Amino acid sequence: MEQKPSPLSKHFRCIAIDLPGYGKSSKSLHPGTMDYYAEVVIKLMDKLGINKFNICGHSMGE
């Protein structure tokens, strides 16, 4: 799926995350729980030096 710029990007830094097990990421074994995915997002934000963020849209697919 092609990522299109969000209209929000005029006012915010927008990041599209490919969570483990979805999209083009590896299909390796992982817990697949919301706690696990929350930890993945928090670790990414920590690595990017972002300590405050909003999640404004999300889809787990079909």
pLDDT for 23-53, tens place per residue? 777 777 778 888 999 999 999 999 999 999 9
Count up the domains in the chain and report the number.
1
Residue 53 lies in a domain: no
Mean residue pLDDT of the chain comes to 83
Domain contains 55: no
Burial of 48 (0-12, 13-18, 19+ CB in 10 A): exposed
Residue 43, domain member (yes or no)? yes
Question: Is the pLDDT score of 60 beyond 80?
Answer: no
1-27 average pLDDT score: 78
Q: Are 6 and 45 in contact (CB under 8 A)?
A: no
pTM (predicted TM-score): 0.72
What's residue 47's pLDDT? Answer: 97
Model pLDDT, residue 28: 73
